[in-house]
Amino acid sequence: MCAVKVVGELNRNGMKAYEAGDVSGAEFLLHQALLRARGTKSAVLEAKILNNIGLIEILTGRKESAASHLRAALEKVRARVGGENKLHSVVRNNLERALS
């Protein structure tokens, strides 16, 4: 299986684990996805995973850590695809939630 598909599967499984109530499993899978995404050199893929990590941190009350991950995601999006786009908007909205 190609690296991008593996990352996508880890990401999806991480979010499913969270939905099933397994926060530690979700975080483990998402961090594994992030490590592999970094190997693909895809800033957009990294941003998506950083966003999901940040989202879980918001939902579990760790807003400071969430804000850090979401800022990193925004930097990746801006560097790769520039300003306003769907991913940028989603990450920015999640960052606003983390900062509120």
Q: Take residue 55 and report the two structure tokens written for it.
A: 């989202």
Q: Quick check: 38 and 46 in contact, CB under 8 A?
A: yes
Sign of the alpha-carbon dihedral angle for 46, 51, 17, 61:
positive
One digit per residue, the tens of pLDDT, for the chain of length 100 reads: 798 899 999 999 999 999 999 999 999 999 999 999 999 989 999 999 999 999 999 999 999 999 999 999 999 998 887 777 899 999 999 999 999 9
Amino acid (1-letter code) at residue 27 = E
The predicted pLDDT at position 81 comes to: 77
The predicted pLDDT at position 80 comes to: 80
Q: Quick check: 6 and 49 in contact, CB under 8 A?
A: no
For residue 38, give the nearest of 48, 24, 25, 26 by alpha carbon.
Answer: 48
Q: Which residues of 86-96 are buried (b: 16+ CB within 10 A; e: fewer)?
A: ebbebbeebbe
The predicted pLDDT at position 1 comes to: 72
The predicted pLDDT at position 43 comes to: 92
